[in-house]
Amino acid sequence: MREPRSSMTPDSPQQARLIDGRATAARVRAEVARQVAVLAARHGVTPGLAVVLVGDDPASEVYVRNKGKQTREAGMRSFETRLPASTSQHELLAHVARLNADKAVHGILVQLPLPRQIDELAIIDALAPEKDVDGFSIINTGLLAARGSGMIPCTPLGCLLLLKEYVGDLGGQRALVVGRSNLVGKPMIQLLLREHCTVTVAHSRTRDLAEECRRADILIAAIGKPGFIKGDWIRPGATVIDVGINRISEPSSEGSRDRLVGDVDFDAAVRVAGAITPVPGGVGPMTIACLLKNTVTAACAQNRIDPGSLSG
């Protein structure tokens, strides 16, 4: 756990500690690379991650390129498939079946969202659960909810690693998760429960969101609405994890320019919170780092290797 932030002089504006997701993600990737080297040297196993991109969504293109690059940098094998936007569900299911059967592939990620003609849930549930490094399949969802085990979705896992590093023991903390998506909100609730937090979930029908936020020691915002959570909703000293990555257009000397912002009004929240993730540079880098971590976990499980035996 990090040292508490130093006290401010009476007239200096309150400034939360910045949660440095880039630094934590770099440490996770370095540990993954070390484990990959041990797996190769002791067991002759090189973890392989297959990423499937259907269509040409520009944001997905960037994510997939970064995933491939970081997979290779960690010493793992990267398998990338790009399929046209017109791909049918039947064709994608056939591709998933080939990856499920491929012994060199330990983890499979089908980039979401998928084109309209494809039923996302049918694809997710066709993944072999032991290769589902996103942790989205019904088996892994059930394992997390009922047993606190299984493959853990990467973004919530990244948030949890940041919380453990910057808060330490989470037991008894009041945690509010804003957003109930299958990708982030729901698995985040389960992870915080596993850590013995008192968990509340807020969503679009929540009656007084500001009041719910003011009660939270830990606030996780995952709604995809730029600057939606206001500074005066934050409990003084709270830890704020902003999962939102929203591209907004702002006026500039050249006309307009794009900027990434989170779901929290950062400039106001940073004066109230005890610690906060910036956007970019907070949760974002943790997602791919946790994907690499999950791929090592998957490779170990498929080769009956205790991941604990890879520790330095």
67 belongs to the catalytic site: yes
Residues 265-294 that bind ligand GUN (CB under 6 A): 287
Who's near 2: CB < 8 A, 6+ residues apart? 17, 165, 166
Helix H or strand E encompassing 36: helix 21-43
Stretch that binds ligand GUN, among 12-20, 42-50, 104-112, 143-151 (CB under 6 A): 104-112
Who's near 264: CB < 8 A, 6+ residues apart? 219, 221, 227, 228, 229, 234, 240, 242, 244, 276
CA dihedral for 28, 29, 34, 39, sign (positive or negative): positive
When asked if residue 87 is in the footprint of ligand GUN (CB under 6 A), the reply is no
Residues 207-236 that bind ligand GUN (CB under 6 A): none
Residues 138-157 that bind ligand GUN (CB under 6 A): 154-155
Asked if 55 and 91 count as a contact pair (C-beta separation under 8 A), the reply is no
Instruction: Decide: residue 34, CB within 10 A, 0-12 exposed, 13-18 middle, 19+ buried.
Output: middle
Q: Please select the residue that binds ligand GUN; options are 25, 50, 74, 109, rule is CB under 6 A.
A: 109
Stretch that binds ligand GUN, among 20-28, 107-115, 261-269, 297-305 (CB under 6 A): 107-115
When asked if residue 263 is in the footprint of ligand GUN (CB under 6 A), the reply is no
Amino acid in position 286: M
CB of 81 to ligand GUN, least distance (A): 13
Residues 177-196 that bind ligand GUN (CB under 6 A): 183
When asked if residue 99 is in the footprint of ligand GUN (CB under 6 A), the reply is no
Which listed residue (20, 132, 134, 265) is catalytic? Answer: 134
Distance of CA 263 to the CA centre of its chain: 15
Alpha-carbon gap, residue 274 to 276, rounded angstroms? 7
The residue (of 120 and 165) whose beta carbon lies closer to ligand GUN is 120
The two three-digit tokens of residue 196, written as one number: 């013995």
CB of 111 to ligand GUN, least distance (A): 5
Provide the 3-class DSSP secondary structure of residue 262. Answer: coil
When asked if residue 295 is in the footprint of ligand GUN (CB under 6 A), the reply is no
70 belongs to the catalytic site: no
Beta bridge partner(s), residue 198: 174
The two three-digit tokens of residue 185, written as one number: 């909100």
The residue (of 83 and 112) whose beta carbon lies closer to ligand GUN is 112
CB of 68 to ligand GUN, least distance (A): 14
Catalytic residues: 67, 111, 134
Site residues, ligand GUN (CB under 6 A)? 109-112, 134, 154-155, 183, 287
